Structure 1
């Protein structure tokens, strides 16, 4: 029963780390990551990666992506579809290109370099939302465009990631032979068609039916079944589990049960599984890894900040925002946060990112997340003055 003590240590440590991180106006995830580094092999060595942490972190990332889908505002996206799409697409192309070229320069393979690009194309605006709220800009055209672009960004990143993972080594069947590539593609296309049908017509009916069940928290129970079921089905077709979880959340978020499910799922995720996921990321990171790959870490950090700032900013300019407003939108998209961390972890598990380069990549993601709120505050202050 040693894992119970480990879980207890993780939960109390992440609660304290998240609290102090929030007090510094940083995302709680930064504190949780630092806890993983502190308790792991990098420093105290009280925790090591093991099966218990692996299984809990797998559930954690699925629930985290389910919540991300649940909280994605499609009505907001519909209202600002044009500028949001420009910001998201151009804001993804720049980081993909810069990170891809960086990977090639540092002797990554072609596939690893593409994956590196996808990692730094992701955006997490949770930290930007806090800054926008503080500075009364959340409902502005710029703030709304940032939120809409984040939805497009998330959807594109999840789809590209899943396809990339499916091509990372071919699908292997129970006999150990690679499945036919055409069959794999057909299965994956069929899965996306199924997602559309389920989201449009079936899931709303299932959620309505769940409210009639005579069991406690029946709606939450059925939403978890949908989340885990679609995640497992995605895995069977060779896609990433996160795509099933994300689109399950997206579909349920369009029903009348969104608020109820969000309120009930968050305690399950954030109280147990999600902290273990972020700690597991820190457990695989070492300072020697960053020191040994310092120039990779440095170039990814600088390139990560500038590519998203300029790419998303140019996308905003193409949507006819002024230059100051475009720069503000670009700054709001800089933070990579949990989305990039999830992608990096999945890449490590899928052998698209080697353990030798892992620390440098995670360190660069943390730097972009730390610098983002200061960058956004500075741009908003200049606009207001």
Structure 2
């Protein structure tokens, strides 16, 4: 909500004009930067998502300061502020505050892009294959959580003499897997429906749940709270019941959805009905204490058996391309890569710790690809690399630790570098490993 003080300084008309200008120019910046870099990288046979992340870095907090989070509004590009002020006929000093207070709208659109991407990921999941690889996904998730968590925590305490709570938190931050980034890369490489793709998607959902549980316990203990296993067990049970229910509904609810859809005549019925299922699934997940992202994936899973699946995919895919681009650009825009400057003495201790965390983060997830038994041929390196990117999930974990006051500046920088490194390296390595696979000719989701 725009503050009353600002309204007094700026007329209502000019305020509306300013808000509109800021929104339009932000979208122009995001799409121009993202598509330009995506076009360059696709010609280099690199995933387009890498271009979107790089575009975020370019226009964000580490680059031109055109797209910056509200908490860093003071860093907003002066030329950008003056341009908006000139076009809207408002004081230039008022632009940063209006920018900050309208930024949640952009974040809301980005979140919609993430949910749409996860919805399509669930929609593209082969249910029989997902169930068939359930045990493998569970094993990969367990290994993908325990290996980096144990190595990271013990290494920080033993080698760098970090205190218990910060070390445990840093270890927990390495358990995450960005299902959004992984799904986007696999979809672009035409690998989402493969056995390896299904194992990674299932494991990514599970290890994010386990990572969030670990962080919740750490934050509770660090805040002086007592460890209560009751809520933790309830969360685990709720997650299990939610996923099993979604799988069951894909057999029973999809025919009902088809019956209703066949009787709708108004234009846009497919995409509207699909997003109603998506919204209800997100609401159901949050209502029982789970992440809405899990609900979005479950919504797609429910409709994966629909006879209209091809129509749903065709209608929703353009929205994913549009809104998910905003999400990935904002992920890149939130990354402060100034912490990698070794010329700054304050960064050096963080760089050493970051090198350790990055090594553990890569080895821990890659090793998870060899953690299961299977009689079927499986590219285990693909599974391990697919689990590597921390992306937005890692940034969320980092933000939680920072807001709780659990991390030192050097440890914050180290975790951020680990997130940046795994986020950018995973798509490149996956493209390299899969470059000769014939399935790469498939279209992106």
Say whether the 8 Å CA contact 1:301–1:367 is kept in structure 2: no
1:253 aligned counterpart, secondary structure: helix
Match of 1:369 among 408, 421, 427: 427
Partner of 1:66: 119
Match of 2:279 among 225, 228, 235: 228
Query: 1 CA distance for matches of 2:271 and 2:151?
Result: 42
Partner of 1:109: 166
Deviates more, 1:37-46 or 1:105-114: 105-114
Partner of 2:259: 208
Partner of 2:329: 279
1:146 aligns with 2:202: no
Query: 2 CA distance for matches of 1:74 and 1:236?
Result: 25
Say whether the 8 Å CA contact 2:173–2:398 is kept in structure 1: no
Query: 1 CA distance for matches of 2:300 and 2:429?
Result: 30
Say whether the 8 Å CA contact 1:211–1:219 is kept in structure 2: no
Query: 1 CA distance for matches of 2:216 and 2:276?
Result: 24
Query: 2 CA distance for matches of 1:6 and 1:345?
Result: 22
TM-score, reference length from structure 1? 0.76
Partner of 1:299: 356
Query: 1 CA distance for matches of 2:26 and 2:363?
Result: 39
Partner of 2:52: 32
1:310 aligns with 2:364: no
Deviates more, 1:49-58 or 1:9-18: 49-58
> Which structure 2 segments of 5+ residues have no match?
1-19, 70-102, 221-227, 342-346, 439-445
Q: 1:241 to 1:288 in 2, by over 3 A?
A: same
How many residues were matched structurally?
Answer: 356
Report how far residue 83 of structure 1 moved: 5.5
Query: 1 CA distance for matches of 2:34 and 2:291?
Result: 27
Report how far residue 260 of structure 1 moved: 1.6
Say whether the 8 Å CA contact 2:286–2:292 is kept in structure 1: yes
Query: 1 CA distance for matches of 2:235 and 2:202?
Result: 24
Partner of 2:374: 319
Match of 2:110 among 57, 60, 83: 57
> Which structure 1 segments of 5+ residues have no match?
171-179, 381-385
Say whether the 8 Å CA contact 1:91–1:121 is kept in structure 2: no
Report how far residue 167 of structure 1 moved: 5.6
1:249 aligns with 2:300: yes
Report how far residue 168 of structure 1 moved: 7.2
What's the CA shift string for 1:82-112, capped at 9, x where partnerless?
6665555545543443344456555563662
Give the root-mean-square deviation of aligned CA atoms.
3.8
Partner of 1:174: none
Partner of 1:11: 31
TM-score, reference length from structure 2? 0.67
Q: 1:99 to 1:296 in 2, by over 3 A?
A: same
2:370 aligned counterpart, secondary structure: helix
Partner of 1:156: 206
Query: 1 CA distance for matches of 2:209 and 2:435?
Result: 31
Query: 2 CA distance for matches of 1:129 and 1:219?
Result: 22
Highest Rg: 1 or 2? 2
What's the CA shift string for 1:161-207, capped at 9, x where partnerless?
5645766768xxxxxxxxx9857965884576466064443354134
What's the CA shift string for 1:230-287, capped at 9, x where partnerless?
213322332211011111111111222222212211111211x211111111111122
Q: 1:111 to 1:207 in 2, by over 3 A?
A: farther
1:267 aligns with 2:318: yes
Deviates more, 1:365-374 or 1:259-268: 365-374
1:313 aligned counterpart, secondary structure: coil
